[in-house]
């Protein structure tokens, strides 16, 4: 497998996860968790990182962190390495604690930070560790809603400011936002993941591609090649036509609105080509850009209900991920 892509720049925001080797626990008790949080606090001061949200589970953790100095590699090397050293000394063990390298997804802050904050804070509920997120101590959520003291090294203000200028009202509205995820099924933000390492809209993806342009790429970094060399729409349409046994003309012809193959092609071209919705609309019979987004959204909903369709799209999807 290729090494994960690391994209660094000042002000970059990431969703970071790291799991225990062989799914084993990385936190055996509260002392371990306290130590990990102490390291986060130290790195906030030492490297200027901003932790927007976190949750510590038994065998993994989630962080949403911002790097004003563009220093993710240094931060994560020290964080995982420092904690591993502590853990091995305390528990009289040796060797790797974490399963390979951490996973870091570059995130469009304006479009996805609020959603990711909810995703992180609901993780203990999703894992059936607890029924209510505010009851989980090892998370930034209780302090977000005023049920625990705020940590000086956690950046609460950006997310809360999206709900209200008054902090108390913002806390209440944020709580309602998070709890909506307990009552109804909410969209997984990672369904929009691009190239396995970028979560953002078209402009953000174009920005990332610009950062990579002209840089030397090691052959081991599959995701960077994926971002730098988007598949041509014609290639995607041809693959969909073959899979669904229809002509390419039928997929792209003007006036074709409801064909499954057409919706799949729209979805995959939007996901992987790097074209704007306006440009994609022109390819599919001069439809409006909003129709492109709606078609992709409808397909995602349909895949949730239709296992066969989901598997067929997944097989096509895999052709363009590598």
Q: What is the CATH number of the domain that holds 292?
A: 1.10.1750.10
pLDDT given at position 227: 54
Enclosing domain of residue 144 = 12-190
Q: Do residues 239 and 321 lie in contact, with contact meaning Cβ atoms separated by under 8 Å?
A: no
Q: Do residues 82 and 39 lie in contact, with contact meaning Cβ atoms separated by under 8 Å?
A: yes
In a domain, 2, yes or no: no
Nearest to 239 by CA among 313, 302, 322: 313
**Cα 221 to Cα 240: distance, rounded to the nearest angstrom:** 27
β 60-67/12-19 pair status: antiparallel
Domain's final residue, options 161, 190, 219 = 190
Q: Do residues 49 and 43 lie in contact, with contact meaning Cβ atoms separated by under 8 Å?
A: yes
173 and 246 fall within a common domain: no
pLDDT tens figures, 60-94 = 999 999 999 999 999 999 999 999 999 999 999 99
**Cα 97 to Cα 21: distance, rounded to the nearest angstrom:** 6
Q: Do residues 217 and 224 lie in contact, with contact meaning Cβ atoms separated by under 8 Å?
A: yes
**Cα 132 to Cα 143: distance, rounded to the nearest angstrom:** 14
Q: Which of 95-104, 249-258, 307-316 has the lowest mean pLDDT?
A: 249-258
Share of the chain above pLDDT 70, in %: 89
In a domain, 237, yes or no: yes
Whole-Å CA distances, 179 to 145, 172, 185, 205, 318:
11, 11, 11, 30, 34
In a domain, 319, yes or no: yes
Secondary element (H or E) of residue 40: helix 30-47
244 and 321 fall within a common domain: yes
143 and 26 fall within a common domain: yes
pLDDT given at position 229: 53
**How many domains are contained in the chain?**
2
Residues in the chain: 322
In a domain, 69, yes or no: yes
């Amino acid at each position: 497998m290729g090494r994960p892509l690391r994209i660094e720049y000042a002000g970059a925001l990431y969703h970071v996860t790291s799991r225990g080797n062989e799914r084993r626990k990385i936190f055996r008790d509260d002392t371990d968790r306290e130590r990990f949080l102490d390291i986060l606090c130290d790195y906030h001061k030492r490297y200027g990182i901003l932790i927007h949200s976190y949750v510590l589970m038994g065998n993994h953790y989630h962080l949403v962190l911002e790097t004003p100095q563009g220093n993710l590699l240094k931060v994560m090397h020290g964080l995982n390495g420092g904690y591993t050293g502590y853990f091995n000394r305390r528990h009289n063990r040796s060797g790797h604690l974490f399963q390979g390298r951490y996973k870091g997804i570059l995130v469009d802050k304006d479009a996805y930070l609020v959603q990711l904050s909810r995703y992180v804070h609901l993780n203990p509920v999703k894992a059936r560790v607890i029924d209510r997120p505010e009851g989980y101590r090892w998370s930034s959520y209780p302090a977000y809603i005023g049920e625990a003291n705020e940590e000086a090294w956690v950046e609460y203000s950006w997310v809360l400011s999206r709900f209200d200028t008054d902090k108390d009202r913002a806390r209440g509205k944020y709580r309602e936002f998070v709890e909506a995820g307990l009552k109804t099924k909410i969209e997984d933000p990672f369904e929009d993941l691009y190239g396995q390492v970028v979560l953002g809209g078209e402009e953000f993806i174009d920005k990332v591609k610009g950062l990579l342009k002209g840089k030397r790429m090691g052959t081991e970094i599959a995701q960077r090649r994926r971002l730098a060399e988007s598949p041509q729409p014609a290639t995607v349409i041809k693959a969909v036509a073959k899979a669904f046994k229809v002509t390419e003309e039928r997929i792209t012809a003007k006036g074709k609105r409801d064909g499954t193959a057409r919706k799949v092609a729209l979805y995959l071209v939007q996901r992987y080509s790097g074209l704007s919705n306006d440009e994609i609309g022109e390819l599919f019979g001069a439809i409006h850009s909003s129709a492109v987004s709606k078609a992709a959204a409808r397909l995602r909903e349909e895949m949730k209900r239709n296992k066969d369709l989901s598997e067929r799209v997944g097989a096509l999807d895999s052709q363009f991920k590598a």
